Structure 1
Amino acid sequence: MIVGASQGIGLEFVRQLLKIEQVERLYTTYRNSGSELLQISDPRLRCLPMEITDESQIAAVVQAIQAETPVLHTVINCVGVLHEGSLQPEKSLRHLKAEQLLRYFQINSIGAVLLAKQVQPLLKHSERAILATISAKIGSIGDNHLGGWYGYRASKAALNMFMRTTAIEYQRLCPRTIVVTLHPGTTDTQLSRPFKRQVKPEQLFSVERTVKQLLEVLDRLQERDSGEFFSWDGNRLPW
């Protein structure tokens, strides 16, 4: 299951996973009805509309999946926001607005843990499973040396705590499920495009490279890695 598959990293996960013969069925969620996702023709693919800030929609998607299968083996949440319309990363305290901070948390943090809550029955089985969420190194408190970007940083830090706590509960309820957050690296997507001029060309990844690297990280994970925060190269990141 790929959550947030309309564009960018999520859409590329779909493309690369459909190239793997062992993938028997792939569920995806989307917000944008004009997405290329809906143009992909593959009998294994099912696309479901969902707004991650609405728990009733998350529950409805999970129920639709449960009507077809009792288990999932991989769930990857790619939903995230850095900028949209008037929502822009804050450079200083004077730019902070409560409603914009709430928007960051609704999408980047709260939606992810509500997904973990609703999808849990599909991961409660005896085979190896993954619940991975795209986070960002900028959400590492220990790695914050530049400041700024208050809402995005804080919402990603909250996301990491939500998933760390989820991992502890899943150890009791879904012991074969590995729960991790992932830093994809700076990727050439709509999310990073306004800021990519500040990134060295060799540090700006294509979506194809990013997804290939993340799939390699996921393939290497062991159960003891649950609750950890990994970079695109497989290294653990500080909280």
Structure 2
Amino acid sequence: MAAPVALIQGASRGLGLQFCKHILKHRTTAVVIATCRNPEHAAELRDLSDRHPGNRLTVLRLDVNREEDVRGVADRVRESFGRLDLVVNSSAVLHPSGKGETSLRDVTAQGVISTLTTNTVGPLVVAKYLAPLLQKGGGGFGQQPAEKSKRHSGVIVNITAKVGSIGDNGLGGWYSYRMSKAALNMATRNLSIELGRSRPKVVCVSLHPGTVDTDLSRPYHRNVPKDKLFAAELSVSRLMSIVDSLNMERTGRAFNWDGTELPW
């Protein structure tokens, strides 16, 4: 069986970087393609690449706000690998200002548009160009049932957030970020329907990593209980356990880091 190929979008830091580390460490035959906006400034990712010579880790430039970048990466992957087994969309912004809106008076059209562009439109465009490569995958991630009709060729993971759950929203605020993640969940659902009809099929899920010790959440750590603040390594380990359990019966859903289903 050919080595599984995973592409991690937003791999320069935080969860994305940890996904790369986890797969390289625990999937010793897997190949990782790490993408980020500025590879030359991604010191940790460059260091990881130096420690994995050969073709186990490939770093490519990708700004999800530029469709031509996404198209170019898809062409590179097609030429070099011919397929994908896993795509993780992990890059996100809280807000261009770095602070979520606490009330309606803080909302600006440009802030909402910018957040939606990165958090929602970007992953959807990534899916558009990479889905054909996932349909050529070998199903190297997730569970494969005995029945051929229920098997999948690849997996799309969109990193969502609990604050994007409409059913769970009891506090309000953070308009741009909440809206972008709610819209991302809808994109995941739509993708699961279309790519669930395709042959071969692709599993599509949204995963909530919990509150993780990353640059995005760091300004709000003082309000998070210590037992609810996760290191990126722990969060990704739990998320990959969910990925390993995926099949076509679980596509189109959102899951918390602990495997429980997150309400839309």
**TM-score > 0.5, shorter chain as reference:** yes
**Equivalent residue pairs, number:** 238
Q: CA deviation at 1:20?
A: 2.7
Q: 1:50 to 1:167 in 2, by over 3 A?
A: same
1:110 pairs with 97, 115, 121, which one? 121
Q: 1:110 to 1:87 in 2, by over 3 A?
A: same
**Structure 1 segment 170-185 matched on structure 2, within 5 A:** 170-185=195-210
Q: Secondary structure at the match of 2:122?
A: helix
Partner of 1:15: 21
Q: CA deviation at 1:25?
A: 1.5
Judge which range, 116-125 or 20-29, deviates more. Answer: 20-29
Q: Matches of 1:118 and 1:63 in 2, distance apart?
A: 9
Q: Secondary structure at the match of 1:133?
A: strand
Q: Matches of 2:120 and 2:27 in 1, distance apart?
A: 33
Gaps of at least 5 residues in structure 2 are 1-6, 140-153
Q: TM-score, normalised by structure 1?
A: 0.96
Contact 1:3 1:29 in 2 (8 A): yes
1:29 pairs with 32, 35, 38, which one? 35
Contact 2:203 2:248 in 1 (8 A): yes
Q: TM-score, normalised by structure 2?
A: 0.87
Q: Matches of 2:238 and 2:225 in 1, distance apart?
A: 19
1:93 pairs with 94, 97, 104, which one? 104
Q: Is residue 60 from structure 1 mapped to residue 72 from structure 2 by the alignment?
A: yes
Q: CA deviation at 1:87?
A: 4.5
Partner of 2:83: 71
**Structure 1 segment 136-175 matched on structure 2, within 5 A:** 136-175=161-200
Per-residue deviation, residues 144-187 of structure 1 (Å, max 9, x unmatched): 00000011000100000011101111012254321001000000
Q: CA deviation at 1:227?
A: 0.6
CA RMSD of aligned residues (A): 1.3
Q: Is residue 189 from structure 1 mapped to residue 195 from structure 2 by the alignment?
A: no
Partner of 1:207: 232
Per-residue deviation, residues 178-230 of structure 1 (Å, max 9, x unmatched): 10010000000001000011000000000110010000011011211111001
Q: 1:235 to 1:47 in 2, by over 3 A?
A: same
Percent identity, aligned pairs only, is: 40
1:47 pairs with 54, 59, 62, which one? 59
Q: Secondary structure at the match of 1:67?
A: helix
Per-residue deviation, residues 60-104 of structure 1 (Å, max 9, x unmatched): 0010010012211111111111144x3521111111100000011
Q: 1:199 to 1:87 in 2, by over 3 A?
A: closer
